[in-house]
Amino acid sequence: MLSARTFVNSISLSRVGLALLFVICFQRFAALLDLAIVICIIALVTDLLDGYFARKLNVASVHGRLWDSLGDKAFYIAAIIAFNAQGFLDPLLSWALIIREVALYITRILFIENLPKIEQTRPFTNWHGYFMYLLIILGLFQMYVEIRGMSFTIYPFIQVSAGAALIFGIASMVHYLKLR
């Protein structure tokens, strides 16, 4: 039988597989776009459920938050790769966002003594997440517009959202480094 902690962590880690499916499905075909949207919704639901069940089953922990974060990062990177491949996201901005996601984990390992205080970085990490979700929504909408042959572009808003996500993401790392 699955322990409560394993159950919750499995929900978090399911986003890694969903991320791979998203990269595969984010194409200029209506049926695949519909599937990519469903995958995003499932990923969002798992992001909400893992925290809910962790609290409800009394297994919330710093390590559990890291598993949740891995699921988030996998999906964020999938969106960055998919959007870059379709020309929706500037390559340099894509690179910077991916490097930030990798650097976050390296920073947490190198400064593991700060890990118990990680909740103090939540305002910055929340804003990073909000802008990443906005980026994903805008990218899906841009693909929808292109598939339907509509004549307006969401491209500039995607870049602004990605830039804001990067700024808050870097701020969360800097704040984590300053924890004592």
CA nearest to 123, candidates 169, 71, 77: 169
- Using the predicted structure, report yes or no on whether residue 46 has a pLDDT greater than 80: yes
Which structural domain range is residue 19 located in? 4-178
Q: Would you place residue 134 in the very low, low, confident or very high pLDDT band (cuts 50, 70, 90)?
A: very high
Terminal CA-to-CA distance of the chain, rounded, Å? 40
Q: What is the mean pLDDT of the chain?
A: 93
| Tokens of residue 165, six digits | 């996500």
Number of compact structural domains in the chain: 1
Q: Would you place residue 100 in the very low, low, confident or very high pLDDT band (cuts 50, 70, 90)?
A: very high
CATH number for the domain including 44? 1.20.120
What value does the mean pLDDT take over residues 96-115? 89
Question: What pLDDT does residue 96 have?
Answer: 98
- Which has the higher per-residue pLDDT, 105 or 28? 28
The single-letter code of the amino acid at 180 is: R
Determine the length of the chain. 180
Q: Would you place residue 76 in the very low, low, confident or very high pLDDT band (cuts 50, 70, 90)?
A: very high
Alpha-carbon gap, residue 111 to 118, rounded angstroms: 11
**pTM higher than 0.85 for the full model?**
yes
Question: What pLDDT does residue 77 have?
Answer: 97
CA dist 128 → 84, 132, 137, 162, 163 (Å) = 19, 6, 14, 9, 10
